[in-house]
Amino acid sequence: MEYKKKIRSALVSVYDKTGLEPILKLLHSNGVELISTGGTHQFILSLGLPALTVESLTGYPSILDGRVKTLHPAVFGGILARREDTNHKDQLSKYDIREIDLVIVDLYPFAKTVETTSDEAEIIEKIDIGGISLIRGAAKNFEDVLIIPSVEDYPTLKRILSEQDGETTLEQRRRQAARAFAVSSGYDTDIFNWFNRVEGLNELRVKGSNGATLRYGENPHQSGIFFGDLNEIATQLHGKELSYNNLLDIDAALSLINDLDQTSVAIIKHNNACGVATRENLTEAWDAALAGDPVSAFGGVIICNKPVDEATAAHINQLFFEVIVAPDYEKNSLELLKSKKNRIILQLKSFDLGKWQYRSLLNGVLAQTKNDRKESSDNLKCVTEKTPTESEIKDLLFANRLVKHARSNAIVLVKDQQMIGSGVGQTSRVDAVKQAIEKAERFGFDLNGAVLASDAFFPFGDSVEIASAAGITSFIQPGGSVRDVDSIEMCNKKGVSMVFTGTRHFRH
């Protein structure tokens, strides 16, 4: 079998002509016969290059408003014929079909059209049929044909034409076949997901393109790749490359800060908040957030929901941290934060983190809608003799927003819009309570008048008994235990208040 193939003819059918001119000129200089359609053919002629039309091969004009141009045996026969098969060669000769050695396609921009319009008719017309068929056909016959399925593959073709005199190897053709099916499957995924936003079929299609290889995964002995475009969410202004663990913490930070309405700062460590506070200005919010756990904050990820001013930057700069994320930075504050060369500084853009989240496990994938529930005072049901004060309700709602983002079993303590203690990732709820109290007391917080949020119901009254003895005066939890009465009666006995939300916030 002949593994090297000389490109003698090329079918060119592209939507976006960007970067095409030098490719066409290289093809012409290599003596390659050009075949093209519609606007591409006119573009080639405008460069003073010769080209055949697809219509001259098929004997049919483009019909149905351009919906049918290349779908014809005279085209696909020339692409799919096996060159070493004498029967195929005989059929090509019998029907006067040219062999096509190279196919260059750039598909209709379906995804971009969806982003820019809601006009269904316009979106439907951007579903490419001929182009996707050309890609699949050429990729299937990679032993004889080279497929260039996207503008992104032009550099590969340039090297083949410039450095190899238009001669391709089997390895190159096979690799481009893989690229072709990556392009076609991603394109089909975009189309399916657009249809399925309405139809709601229990089918999962996720597209991951242009994966960025990370230094390593969660640990140095693990490999890591990020599939996505972080530039859609933030601009990196300074620092080293983001790591696998940085990305996990940034995701956790964004999810948390999106639930806070006032001027706030959060410090994230291992996907959990170790400090969060809301204040009148950002400097005060930072100072209060750091005070929540100044030990764990070391090496963490900081996120602010307001632009970072110089005064705040001066305070933040005293701490060693990995990443800071904010919507903007004043000039002087940015220069100050850049004083450490490896420190990662991200400027947030307007972004949408999507409705669904996924987790791979066993031999499949779990999918669920994101936990976007945010309780307000209207959702609170007081179940005790004592009712919470107005300031306690404010703190209860704040604590409930925070505990939703902590690993279960989770307890969060709040006082004056500041997280002063947390117990996270515990196998028993009472241990989470003890951990939160111990942590708050270790950093010198007065728990008298503080409130407690639990991500799930209290199965017994012991958590209330321990927390109220430490000074906690009000509790917020979903309720729903068959023994809710135990915790309610303990509250009444201790003279403290409790409200139910009716919504559990597990996070595993």
As annotated, the active-site residues are 140, 270
- Evaluated on CA atoms 316, 318, 324, 327, the torsion sign reads positive
- Rounded Cα distance, 500 and 53, in Å: 72
Q: How far is CA 300 from the centre of its chain?
A: 21
Residues 6+ apart with CB under 8 A from 116: none
Vertex 159: Cα angle to 153 and 162 (nearest 5)? 135
Q: CB within 8 A of 214, min separation 6: which ones?
A: 224, 225, 226, 241, 242, 243, 244
Task: Give me the sign of the Cα torsion angle 305, 307, 312, 314.
Answer: positive
Name the helix (H) or strand (E) containing 90: helix 86-94
38-46 helix and 20-29 helix, angle to the nearest 10 degrees: 70
Contact at 8 Å (CB) between 394 and 375?
no
Q: How far is residue 389's CA from residue 387's CA, in Å, rounded to a whole number?
A: 7
- Tell me which residue of 318, 301, 309 sits closest to 267, measured CA to CA: 301
Tokens representing 116 are 């820019």
Residue 433: name the closest of 404, 411, 453 by CA: 411
Pull the structure tokens for residue 48.
Answer: 């003073």
Helices 429-442/462-470 angle, 10° precision: 10
CA distances from 244 to 73, 268, 424 (A): 49, 15, 22
End-to-end CA distance of the chain: 55
**Beta carbons within 10 angstroms of residue 507's beta carbon:** 18
- The label of the residue with tokens 């075949």 reads 35
